[in-house]
């Protein structure tokens, strides 16, 4: 492909998101109410969460599995909602105060004075409630003018979870609605962490969000530090009332998918998620799938072993491969060849 004079790849002039066609000139403008650079526009169509071989896509599917297995009342799943949202959706609908720092041009990417690149998936809570959804998961790319380090990137992915309870659900418990929802929320997220990681060191921290009360954050011990992986809480009544849920109580959470994937796959730096190197984006590939006459199925996988620190020796790879085979045999109950 052709390169610009400065050596960088040319930026696409238009892309399609959630069925909406978006031109570069609609998002990146020489205008005082716009602060979206080309480097951010070029991330808009990437949709890492929709790639089943990418660590973010694998994680999304593993979380879906947990909710499908544990809730008879199915969660409605959305992963294609447009990341361009109104200031009202991103902030007003979730009660972010008019003078809150997150609204500033310094923190949020503004397309114009009324339109932003969503800075969290909570931007979709109100519309989905109004559409009558009571159990839902929203996955998507979110954008913040954060400075980059090993756990922060200006584009990352979140999964929002939302669950509405009607009075019958908590009345029998003897608890008030808020305590009931808070207890259920923590149980749900601790169960999710066990489903994803097995044993992992974690702790709950009291937090503040304008849209929940009480609010919590979950931290996981990773690479000798506590890392915040999600925010959550019991939804403010005003949000439920404003969107057609009069007597209900609800919980909500927002997961940082990169951070959870870092723990799951032992990925040392968030910048790696944007690597185009196939050894990162599809480390495990099913290359053959065969069923014999007796009905036994054989799978052949290609695995790319790679270290960020050094080139691996054959001995090191053999040892890793031995561990993978051992785990596959005991956990998946298969016969190795
Ligand atoms: C929120 O975004 C809230 N909307 C979460 C929420 C939803 C709370 C529903 C209550 C109810 P916060 O700003 O803490 O919260 O971000 C949530 C998670 O996103 C963080 O815990 C972290 O895992 C991840 N995150 C935040 N900023 C970055 C970043 N720059 N790079 C990578 N991950 C990030
Ligand atoms: Mg936080």
Predicted confidence pLDDT, tens digits, the chain (337 residues)? 344 445 555 677 888 887 788 899 999 999 999 999 999 999 998 999 999 999 999 999 999 999 999 998 899 999 999 999 999 999 999 999 999 999 999 999 999 999 999 999 999 999 999 999 999 999 999 999 999 999 999 999 999 999 999 999 999 899 999 999 999 999 999 999 999 999 899 999 999 999 999 999 999 999 999 999 999 999 999 999 999 999 999 999 999 999 999 999 999 999 999 988 777 777 778 889 999 999 889 989 888 887 767 788 999 999 999 999 998 898 888 999 8
Atom number, ligand 1, closest to the C-alpha of residue 102: 13
Distance of CA 16 to the CA centre of its chain: 21
Atom number, ligand 1, closest to the C-alpha of residue 146: 30
Q: Which CATH superfamily does the domain covering 14-274 fall into?
A: Bira Bifunctional Protein; Domain 2 (3.30.930.10)
Among 50, 57, 59, residue whose Cα is nearest residue 263: 59
Most ligand 1 atoms within 8 A of CB, residue of 256, 272, 274 to mutate: 256
Q: pTM for this one?
A: 0.90
Is the ipTM higher than 0.85? The answer is yes
Distance of CA 118 to the CA centre of its chain: 13
CB 218 within 8 A of CB 204: yes
Q: For residue 148, report the distance from its CA to the centre of ligand 1, in Å.
A: 15
Give me the residue spans of the domains in the chain. Answer: 14-274, 283-332
Residue 58, judged by CB atoms within 10 A of its CB (0-12, 13-18, 19+), counts as: middle
By the CB criterion, residues less than 5 angstroms from ion ligand 2 are: 231
Most ligand 1 atoms within 8 A of CB, residue of 43, 83, 230 to mutate: 230
Residue 242, judged by CB atoms within 10 A of its CB (0-12, 13-18, 19+), counts as: middle
Q: For residue 243, report the distance from its CA to the centre of ligand 1, in Å.
A: 23
d(CA 1, CA 299): 36
How many other CB atoms sit within 10 Å of the CB of residue 162?
Answer: 24
């Amino acid at each position: 492909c052709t390169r610009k004079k400065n050596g960088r790849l040319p930026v696409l002039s238009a892309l399609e998101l959630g069925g909406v066609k978006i031109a570069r000139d609609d998002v990146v403008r020489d205008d005082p109410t716009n602060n979206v650079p080309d480097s951010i526009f070029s991330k808009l169509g990437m949709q890492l969460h929709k790639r089943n071989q990418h660590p973010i896509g694998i994680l999304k599917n593993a979380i879906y599995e947990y909710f499908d297995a544990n809730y008879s009342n199915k969660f409605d799943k959305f992963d294609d909602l447009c990341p361009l949202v109104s200031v009202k959706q991103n902030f007003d609908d979730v009660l972010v105060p008019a003078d809150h720092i997150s609204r500033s041009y310094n923190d949020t990417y503004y397309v114009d004075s009324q339109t932003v690149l969503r800075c969290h998936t909570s931007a979709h809570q109100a519309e989905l409630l109004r559409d009558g959804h009571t159990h839902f998961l929203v996955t998507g790319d979110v954008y913040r003018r954060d400075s980059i380090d090993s756990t922060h990137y200006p584009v990352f992915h979140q999964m929002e979870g939302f669950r509405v309870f009607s009075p019958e659900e908590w009345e029998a418990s003897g608890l008030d609605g808020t305590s009931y929802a808070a207890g259920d929320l923590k149980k749900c997220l601790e169960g999710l962490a066990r489903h994803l990681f097995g044993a992992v060191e974690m702790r709950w921290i009291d937090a503040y969000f304008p849209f929940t009360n009480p609010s919590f954050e979950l931290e996981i011990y990773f690479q000798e530090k506590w890392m915040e992986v999600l925010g959550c809480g019991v939804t403010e009544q005003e949000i439920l009332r404003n969107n057609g849920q009069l007597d209900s109580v609800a919980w909500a959470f927002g997961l940082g998918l990169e951070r959870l994937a870092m723990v799951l796959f032992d990925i040392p730096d968030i910048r790696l998620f944007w690597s185009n190197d196939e050894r990162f984006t599809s480390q495990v590939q099913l290359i053959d799938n065969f069923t014999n006459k007796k009905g036994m199925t054989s799978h052949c996988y290609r695995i790319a072993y790679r270290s960020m620190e050094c080139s691996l020796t054959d001995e090191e790879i053999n040892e890793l491969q031995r561990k993978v085979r051992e785990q596959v045999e005991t956990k998946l109950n298969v016969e190795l060849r």
